[in-house]
Structure 1
């Protein structure tokens, strides 16, 4: 599993892993999905593209996860997988370009397991530990 759920007082937290920064971002998205939803049928009928820019990988990751959360609750878009994810350095900032695949929320096939209010900056720090990128992510529930 590219992430593991860890104990955290009053919230839910994961440690996400990846062989690259891009893999780490995808693992974090899967961790968000695992905490948020139970999906009986995965039909990749929709895709959405997102573009973010920041000076740090940590901020980009938080923005992406908060966007997936927003898409679920505001637009009823259920994220299922990442089709494409690229990180590009542009001058003093980093651009994140993501294409996410999913489907329209349907209560007959989707169950909200945990309502995430937001993704926090608490204790987030992307590190390379022996060639594996990892970070702790705390979800406010």
Structure 2
């Protein structure tokens, strides 16, 4: 059973930039790419250290901005959601099992609302069931009907095993961006996502 103690408030610090996964969004198998490009020059970029995940954290005035990427839109959706989980607990300590710890099926009226609902559903499962995902597989992503189905593999949050990071209170639409290299040639990755979360 999940411990009901609240997560501590955010300590202002830079988190390490982490790399990109060319196949499944999984921290163990990720092989990073080199280089760096940020379509939001106003945000202070976090320091680059060990590359393990296809995401990073950018400083923001009051909250934190998640920046994630992928070679496909499915990978980018999964990466930014894992970025959110990793802010709440160190995903390197989370093990995976064959049985999914979370199943999500949501709809939206456009791509941004679909992303919001997707992340919000995973956040709800973390808050109510303690579901922490280390990998997320998008089974269906329909960009015409704005529907997505995914499964998350990981385990139930356990204070005796997992670190307690900073609580994410909510996903926000504030400055939410889904960028594709076709429209933004300066992007380093095929798809990049920026999401500000309330902490």
Pairwise TM-score range, normalised by the shorter structure: 0.7 to 0.9
Q: Secondary structure at the match of 1:42?
A: coil
1:46 CA drift (Å): 4.2
Aligned residues: 139
1:74 CA drift (Å): 1.0
Q: Deviations over 1:85-136 (max 9, x none)?
A: 320245xx21101111121221111122010000100001211133621121
TM-score by length of 2: 0.64
- Match for residue 42 of structure 1? 95
**Relative contact order (C-alpha < 8 Å, sep 6+): which is higher?**
1
Change (3 A) 1:95 1:121: same
2:194 equivalent to 1:136: yes
Q: Residue 114 of structure 2: which of 41, 50, 60 is its match?
A: 60
Runs (5+) with no aligned partner, structure 2: 1-18, 20-53
- Match for residue 140 of structure 2? 86
- Tell me, yes or no, if the aligned pair for 1:46 and 1:104 is still in contact at 8 Å: no
- Match for residue 117 of structure 1? 169
Runs (5+) with no aligned partner, structure 1: none
Q: Deviations over 1:44-64 (max 9, x none)?
A: 264122111112221111112
- Match for residue 125 of structure 2? 71
- Tell me, yes or no, if the aligned pair for 1:46 and 1:103 is still in contact at 8 Å: no
In 2: Cα distance, 1:107 partner to 1:45 partner: 22
Change (3 A) 1:89 1:128: closer
Higher helix share: 1
Q: Secondary structure at the match of 1:26?
A: helix
Change (3 A) 1:41 1:133: closer
Q: Deviations over 1:21-65 (max 9, x none)?
A: 111101102211221112524142641221111122211111121
Structure number with greater Rg is: 2
Higher strand share: 1
- Match for residue 36 of structure 2? none
- Match for residue 4 of structure 2? none
TM-score by length of 1: 0.87
